[in-house]
Amino acid sequence: MIVIVLPEPAAEQMLLADANRNQPDALRTIYEQYFPPIYAFIRLRVNDREQARDIAADVFVDFFAAARGRHAPHTSLRAWLFRVARNKIYDHYGKTRQFPTTTLEEWLPGSMDDDPELAVFRTFRLEKLRGALRLLSAEQQEVLILRFGQNLNLQETADLMNKSTSAIKSLQFRAVEALRTILDMGEVGE
């Protein structure tokens, strides 16, 4: 499993200030620290790897351009980047917000098991999970990815999805419930 260590808020503010002064090192640091979660967020929504790269590049080009101007993020850089990534994904798929349902290829479990049999089992289980995820609505997919895939807290997720925290609680509950139901029914991946 990838452990993403994001900078502390104070350090993030310093990075943003340096980025605003167009310091290449700050921009590079921000990119290296935030690319993995942003890319993972995009990749979990976009089947095509090349498209995911293009969208990620769009996100960071926008950030680099904004970082030097008055539209630079001032508070939560992570929320800003996720928001831009989310908008790019929606731009990519249009207003219908219908995401592809084909299963992803060559994905591996987040953590590797020493036991090959256990690894196969986990791989099989994750394959089912990915299939079940594609059957959910776009909003349900999004809330699960943000909350459990990217570990955004309730408020961040609510801000990003333009919903209240109560709505996010309800949405995530129903999403997990639906995912559980799909997995129990064995409709996917078998």
Partner 1 sequence: MAQLSLIEIFEDCVQRLAAGDTIERCLLLYPAYADQLQPMLETVTTFRDLQVPPREIYQDQALVWEAVQRRIATRPRRRIAPGTQLLAAVVILMLMLSAAWFALTRPELPPQVDAITPIASTETPSPTPPPTATASLTSTSSPTTTVIPSLTMTASQTPSPSATLTPTATQTASPTPSPTASPTSSITPTPSATFAPGCGAPLTAAQAVTKVLEVFPNATILSILQTTKFGGTLVWEVRISGQITVNVDVACGTILTIDRGGTGAETSGDANANENTAGSGDSGSSGSSGNSNENENQNSNDNGNSNDDNGNDDNSGMGSGD
Check binding of 118 to partner 1 (CB under 8 A).
no
Q: Which of 133, 136, 146, 161 binds partner 1 (CB under 8 A)?
A: 133
Check binding of 129 to partner 1 (CB under 8 A).
yes
As given in the structure block, the two tokens for residue 149 are 């895939």
Gap between the Cα atoms of 119 and 141, Å rounded: 25
Q: In the bound complex, what is the minimum distance in angstroms from residue 53's beta carbon to partner 1?
A: 5
How many angstroms separate the Cα of 145 from the Cα of each of 58, 138, 141?
20, 11, 6
Cα–Cα nearest to 45, from 123, 130, 125, 121? 130
Q: Residue 90, Cβ neighbours under 10 Å: how many? A: 16
Q: In the bound complex, what is the minimum distance in angstroms from residue 91's beta carbon to partner 1?
A: 16
Q: Which of 8, 95, 96, 106 binds partner 1 (CB under 8 A)?
A: 106
Q: Which of 48, 138, 183, 189 binds partner 1 (CB under 8 A)?
A: 183
Q: Which string of DSSP letters, residue by residue, matches 24-35?
A: HHHHHHHHHHHH
Q: Which string of DSSP letters, residue by residue, matches 124-158?
A: HHHHHHHHHHHTS-HHHHHHHIIIIIS---HHHHH
Q: Which of 82, 146, 147, 188 binds partner 1 (CB under 8 A)?
A: 147
Q: In the bound complex, what is the minimum distance in angstroms from residue 6's beta carbon to partner 1?
A: 14
Gap between the Cα atoms of 73 and 91, Å rounded: 21
Return the residues of window 4-63 that contact partner 1 according to CB under 8 A.
31-32, 35-36, 39-40, 43-44, 49, 52-54, 56-57, 60-61
Gap between the Cα atoms of 117 and 144, Å rounded: 28
Q: Which of 21, 25, 74, 110 binds partner 1 (CB under 8 A)?
A: 110
Residues in touch with partner 1 (CB under 8 A): 1-2, 31-32, 35-36, 39-40, 43-44, 49, 52-54, 56-57, 60-61, 64-65, 69, 106-111, 122, 125-126, 129-130, 133, 144, 147-149, 151, 154, 169-170, 172-173, 176-177, 179-180, 183-184
